[in-house]
Amino acid sequence: MPSDQASFRRLIDIGIALSADKDTNSLMERILLEAKDMGNADGGTLYIRTKDDELKFEIVRTDSLGVAQGGTTGVEVTLGLVNMYSDDNKPNNQNIVTYCALAGETINIADAYNSDDFDFSGTKKFDQGTGYRSKSLLTVPLKNNVDDVIGVLQLLNSQDPETGEVVSFSSEVQPLIEALASQAAVALDNAILIDVQKNLLESFIELMASAVDAKSPYTGGHCQRVPELTEMLTRAACDSGDEPFSDFDLDEDEWYELHIGAWLHDCGKVTTPEYVVDKATKLETITDRIHEVRTRFEVVKREAVIACQEKIIAGGDTNALRGELEEKLARIDDDYDFVANCNVGGEFMAPEHIDRLKQIATATWTRTLDDRVGIAREELDRKELEPARELPCEEPLLADRVDHIFEHDAVVPSADLDNKYGFKVDVPEHKFNKGEIYNLSVVRGTLTEEERFKINDHIVQTIVMLDSLPFPKHLERIPEIAGGHHEKTDGTGYPKRLTGESMTIPAKIMAIADVFEALTAADRPYKMPKTLTASIKIMSFMVKDAHLDAELFRLFLESGVYQIYAEKYLQPSQIDEVNIADYIN
């Protein structure tokens, strides 16, 4: 028997080792093996208490039978759960391990076959099937720092060091095992708590990403696919022995940091209005205002009909007036068709079309009702920036009114020249401009300068949101990782206009993943999914324009990452033969 000083020294060493072990499986295995060694036991089992008051076998060892399950063995524990309570909610005091967990007491049995305190029929049945002889048992509760039993440690068949004979667990070794169990319980509880918190964090992050995807059908699945593609290309970079990746590698903490950063890369989109993200036409907000414009055209046509009828009643030439009316109605219809087509948007709007739009806007209709009643206070405040007009009044068919202007309602981080984030973006004068002529005159697409800024601003909000979170030291680069995927290697990206030299490899990887996912996505209702060849061709142009990193793009192709991703996420019709030599300089 070791001396008291040696035993205490060993407990201290074990405690230090337990506190340093962060892997739960490895920690549980160490606890059992140290206890087995200390008690010179042939076998042992470690149970963990579940939230449903069941004891789950985590580690099982029996040296003489060659049994080693759980822990780091890679062998799954085949034994089932042990219920601490019966179906009628009565405590299961017949089983030694459940009694130990319920009572929180250590139980030392010299010989299970000669004990009437507990039901050992299961133990005896096991012995019959294996030829084993279970004898001495030491069952110790694992109590955390608030005295809750979180598990049970059970040792089997203590052996005399000299003769090998099975003996009882001595009164000298029991307190040592109990002391070890006490240390182990705190270390294990901390490790479990860390795992639970880690799982909670990951679940919350994935929930956030799913919420962003669910917010708009145009980005469904994007926040989930980009992290996977990012990690695939990062793995290829770590495995590459070629420059500039020969020295690039990530440790366990850095991988986790990248994982979280990738999942959160678009979390700022929760601040982007859906009607901006989903803006399909130039006049669309929450509804498409083309319907309001069409109603005005209908009013203009009715007014033309009424004016014609009044002239006929006054004695005018009926045929001539009707001919003029038909021509006027045809012009109005044609003008509306033109405005409606402008609303759809496209690749380019010619200057002469904008001139015609402004000319059409000068036509008038008569408003006879007050436009300041029955509206929201916010809209009324904007309208009251100019005096109300006396009714009835002439109104233009299309207008850019003062109430179409929305001022910034908060300090814009990127507008602060001294902002601590280093943002370098051009902030438009107004938050939104919903002027009808202004919107219909958008040259490309459907978005105004203000709306495009608002969409781009999601990355600013991502960085601001993540920077406000108290990430631990090993996760402190998450805002940087999540916020860099819209930067371009030529320094024209956003929000910090970083150059390639200033961007981290993970940020450059995420930029490639973000673009490739967007090009190949098959769940965007506003576009057809592109083939592999078409997507890679577009990306090759982006590389030539110094928007994407050339070396990472080469690795993306040569490693086959694009193909692996395609086989998992692309439709069969998208997967064509790619000659990567055409896109690598």
The answer to whether residues 27 and 132 belong to one domain is yes
pLDDT of residue 194: 81
Question: What does the pLDDT average to over 245-249?
Answer: 92
pLDDT digits (tens, 9 = 90+) for 49-93: 999 999 999 999 999 999 999 988 889 998 889 999 988 889 999
Residue pair 188/151 in contact (Cβ under 8 Å)? The answer is yes
Among 381, 406, 431, identify where a domain stops: 406
Does 391 have pLDDT greater than 90?
yes
Among 195, 228, 261, identify where a domain stops: 195
The answer to whether residues 18 and 54 belong to one domain is yes
Indicate the pTM of the whole model. Answer: 0.75
Inter-helix orientation angle 222-239/505-520, to 10°: 130
Question: What does the pLDDT average to over 402-415?
Answer: 76
**Residue 577 maps to a domain:** yes
Is residue 27 classed as helix, strand or coil in its secondary structure?
Answer: helix
Mean pLDDT of the chain: 89
pLDDT of residue 295: 97
Does 17 have pLDDT greater than 80?
no
**Residue 130 maps to a domain:** yes
The answer to whether residues 78 and 175 belong to one domain is yes
The answer to whether residues 187 and 223 belong to one domain is no
Cα–Cα distance measured from residue 213 to residue 277, given in angstroms and rounded to the nearest whole number: 12
**Residue 560 maps to a domain:** yes
Nearest to 441 by CA among 541, 528, 320, 358: 358
Does 332 have pLDDT greater than 70?
yes
The answer to whether residues 189 and 43 belong to one domain is yes
Does 239 have pLDDT greater than 90?
yes
The answer to whether residues 186 and 60 belong to one domain is yes
The answer to whether residues 174 and 268 belong to one domain is no
pLDDT of residue 413: 52
pLDDT of residue 21: 61
Helical spans, DSSP H, in 448-531: 449-467, 478-482, 505-520
Residue pair 295/237 in contact (Cβ under 8 Å)? The answer is no
For the chain, what is the domain count? 3
Question: What does the pLDDT average to over 160-183?
Answer: 89
CATH of the domain at 547: 1.10.3210.10
Q: What token pair was written down for 155?
A: 């040792």
Q: Which residue has the tokens 């000319």?
A: 359
The answer to whether residues 231 and 171 belong to one domain is no
Domain that holds residue 560: 218-273+448-583
The answer to whether residues 11 and 132 belong to one domain is yes
**Residue 86 maps to a domain:** yes
**Residue 304 maps to a domain:** no
Work out the percent of the chain whose per-residue pLDDT is above 70: 93
The answer to whether residues 236 and 187 belong to one domain is no
Residues shown for the chain? 585
**Residue 417 maps to a domain:** no
**Residue 353 maps to a domain:** yes
Does an H or E element contain 395, and which? strand 393-396
CATH of the domain at 72: 3.30.450.40
Residue pair 321/308 in contact (Cβ under 8 Å)? The answer is yes
Work out the percent of the chain whose per-residue pLDDT is above 90: 66
Q: Tally Cβ neighbours within 10 Å of residue 324.
A: 16
**Residue 320 maps to a domain:** no
Task: Collect all residues with Cβ–Cβ distance below 8 Å to 398 and sequence separation of at least 6.
Answer: 293, 339, 357, 360, 361, 436, 437, 440
pLDDT of residue 289: 96
pLDDT digits (tens, 9 = 90+) for 437-495: 999 999 999 999 999 999 999 999 999 999 999 988 989 999 999 999 999 999 999 99
The answer to whether residues 353 and 471 belong to one domain is no
Does 410 have pLDDT greater than 80?
no
Residue pair 408/432 in contact (Cβ under 8 Å)? The answer is no
pLDDT of residue 157: 96
Question: What does the pLDDT average to over 274-300?
Answer: 93
Does 2 have pLDDT greater than 70?
no
The answer to whether residues 98 and 150 belong to one domain is yes
pLDDT band at 213 (very low <50, low <70, confident <90, very high): confident
Residue type, 193: L
Does 135 have pLDDT greater than 70?
yes
